[in-house]
Amino acid sequence: MSSFAAPIAEQIWDMKYRLKEADGTALDATVEDSWRRIARSLAAVEDDAEGWEARFYEALSDFRFLPAGRILAGAGTERSVTLFNCFVMGTIPDTMAGIFDMLKEAALTMQQGGGIGYDFSTIRPKGAAVQGVAADASGPLSFMDVWDAMCRTIMSAGSRRGAMMATMRCDHPDVEQFIAAKSDPARLRMFNMSVLVTDDFMEAVKADGPWDLVFGGETFKTVRARDLWDRIMKSTYDYAEPGVIFIDRINQMNNLAYCEEIAATNPCGEQPLPPYGACLLGSVNLARLVAEPFTEGAALDEAALDELVGTAVRMMDNVVDASRFPLPQQAEEARNKRRIGLGVTGLADALLMVGLRYGTEEAAEQTEAWMKRIARAAYLTSAGLAEEKGAFPLFDAEKYLASGTMQLMDEDVRAAVADKGIRNALLTSIAPTGTISLYAGNVSSGIEPVFAYAYTRKVLQKDGSRTEEEVVDYAVNLWREVHGEAELPGHFVNAQELQPQEHVRMQAAAQKWVDSSISKTINVPEDIGFEAFKDVYMQAYETGCKGCTTYRPNDVTGSVLSVASEAKDTTPSETPALVHDSGDGGAEVVYMSEPLDRPAALEGQTYKVKWPGSEHALYITLNDIIMNGQRRPFEIFINSKNMEHFAWTVALTRMISAVFRRGGDVSFVVEELKAVFDPRGGAWVQGKYIPSILAAIGGVIEQHLIAIGFLAGEGMGLKSDPQAEVAVVGGRPQGSCSSCGSYDVRMVEGCMTCGNCGYSKCG
């Protein structure tokens, strides 16, 4: 029997976490082999490696502990990748040389698969004098454009594009331009953006007082605090960015406030980190720990939770020593403080199993109790590890125990830390778990509510036929096993049915016992009034949250998914499906279970590309297949008499043809090729500057896709182009997944996440 609870879970494992040779040959025959690989790797540093390997394997089995994807894919592979998820880079110097040194460090980090955060508040504002060159500064936004362009060219490990977070203080003179930056759809698309909001600013907003915009001790401008707050809110209301980070609260509650200052976070916001700070992530799957679900005796197995948390902390601590790091400063920072970010997933499912409605006061109380238990077990385990292996190098008992988080801890935990020290400076965080939640059987993601009870996934078979595959929430599947065809009870609720205040209540309840932060999206209805929308952020501030991210569907952000609304009025077998509508009344087919076989004959076209300075031309042949009456690309051949090009043209031929044969929206191939630039310089071709010969090939493919009707026009249908076409659902535009082409794209914990293939920009 398969260990996977759903077909999509096995497909996620095969695509993202299964160890394979470069040619695709699987080295992990089963998911159990993957668990064994990870357990053996992380136990290698232990004195009793064999014994701990068994313990680690048990924690991984049945998807009870879910290390983050970088650990699942990279541990035990000997690949030159980092197992850490999150990095905040060094403080950006306010000099040209320093700025571009930081750009280089960012590129190296993203190349190994790390998401990065930067505080751009340290760069002088636009128009400020630059001494010695008789010029005015171009400001931090101009350099953010440079970062954005760099990020577009780098594919991080595991075919994941690098994600970035940009922060700026609420008192920086360019903060108004920062707030408005995402109103331009073509600008800063590789960034998530958040404003660092201070307590003083929030008090000025409440008092309707003035607010100075300052840099280097000079006041550039004074604004009305409430006006600036309204600017932030209006941009977020319209464009879903910038987010808000309550930076003073983060620093006040930081266990390490005595030796670091935080001014930025990782891309999803759950890890506030100091310069060169790094953190790894993992999640306890609460949905797998409920005994007797959907019965009167349903309860979380707290003893099993304590044991699992203890094992998980030890595993994650070992990752600090097992991982590679892009930069030596990151390695030093990680080993000096040994930060880990243990969180949860499946919270909403677990609440459903014990009969609680997500968002109620009772559910919030239970969430707080579970999170406290996790925090206690994590801190006690880390204290025990300190006794066994030593405390983190920068541990100072008096100062550490005086920190905001430690003052909330129970006396027995404080006593253990005082007596033994602690191995890990910070231990808890709640990260986005979109992909690993699917891998674990479609459990609810992180601390988010269930997004939908079920949806229909269209799968294209080798013979061109279509099959439908129901993807059902893990808790709904369990309900069916226990109660058969009985109606879903009234406490089943999804993200669309919740009030924004209920989202905030759950975030605040969890935050009390999370020493880092939480990645969560507060879904608000499209028709929410602006004043009510602002109240959501004020409630988040007043209830102790460390940040706030909302998502309001509209004509700019898009409608994330078309959701049927009568779920509780039907039997589980009739739970409404979420249909990926192509906009023309037909369902969008996005993924093939296996590559299509090649017919004996295909129709196609050959194109000649003469690259300036090259003696021989390239000849590019694109052949098409007819499926369901529509023509789509099937294979490509790239040929040249220039033997210098032989290896890479053969590689490109094979890779692009393999992508074409998998089906779905393959327009991303055009985007990726057109984004490649040659550091030696591009060329002018037919009056247009082309940054590289690969970009020229991308342009040929694009023109062919236009000619066969696969693309509507140049630059259309590509996710990086401001003219991108989108499908329409319910009268609102909706983008497709950049990985598989599916229209099952939703906002989950601050990340646009695909429910079909699991791809997300951030994790």
Exactly one of 254, 266, 477, 494 is catalytic; name it: 266
What is Dmax (Cα atoms) for the chain? Answer: 79
DSSP at 517: -
Question: Could you give phi then psi for residue 218, rounded to 5 degrees?
Answer: -105, 130
Backbone φ, ψ for residue 640 (5° rounding): -160, 150
> Tokens 């999640």 label which residue?
283
Contact at 8 Å (CB) between 594 and 462? yes
Whether the link from the prior residue into 242 is cis, omega within 30° of 0, is yes
- Outline where 158-290 has alpha helix (H): 175-180, 199-207, 225-239, 247-253
Q: Whole-angstrom Cα distance, residue 447 to residue 515?
A: 15
User: Amino acid identity of 601?
Assistant: A
Q: Is 266 a catalytic residue?
A: yes
Estimate to the nearest angstrom the gap between the alpha carbon of 89 and the chain centroid: 18
What's the DSSP call for residue 395?
-
Given 86, 170, 268, 751, the catalytic residue: 268
Closest listed residue to residue 378, CA positions, set 445, 326, 309, 275: 309
Helix, strand or coil for residue 282? strand
Token duo for residue 232: 């932030």
Kindly write down the DSSP assignment for every residue of 572-603, as one continuous string.
GGGPPP---B-SSSSBPP--BSSPPPPPS--E
Is 30 buried (19+), middle (13-18) or exposed (0-12) by CB count in 10 A?
middle
**Residue from 85, 65, 42 nearest 439 by CA:** 65
Lookup: tokens for 379: 């801190």
Q: Which of 336, 375, 282 shows the shortest CA–CA distance to 56?
A: 282
Residue 245 exposed, middle or buried by CB count within 10 Å (0-12, 13-18, 19+): buried
Question: 278 - beta bridge partners?
Answer: 87
Q: How far apart are CA 558 and CA 549, in angstroms?
A: 16
CB atoms within 10 A of CB 517: 28
Residue 576, judged by CB atoms within 10 A of its CB (0-12, 13-18, 19+), counts as: middle
Tally: H helices and E strands in the chain = 24, 32
How far does Cα 342 stand from its chain's mean position?
A: 16
Task: Pick the closest to residue 503 from 484, 489, 523 (CA basis).
Answer: 523
Q: Which candidate in 53, 105, 270, 671 is catalytic? A: 270
The DSSP letter of residue 546 is S
Nearest to 406 by CA among 386, 422, 388, 390: 422
Query: Which residues are known to be catalytic?
Result: 266, 268, 270
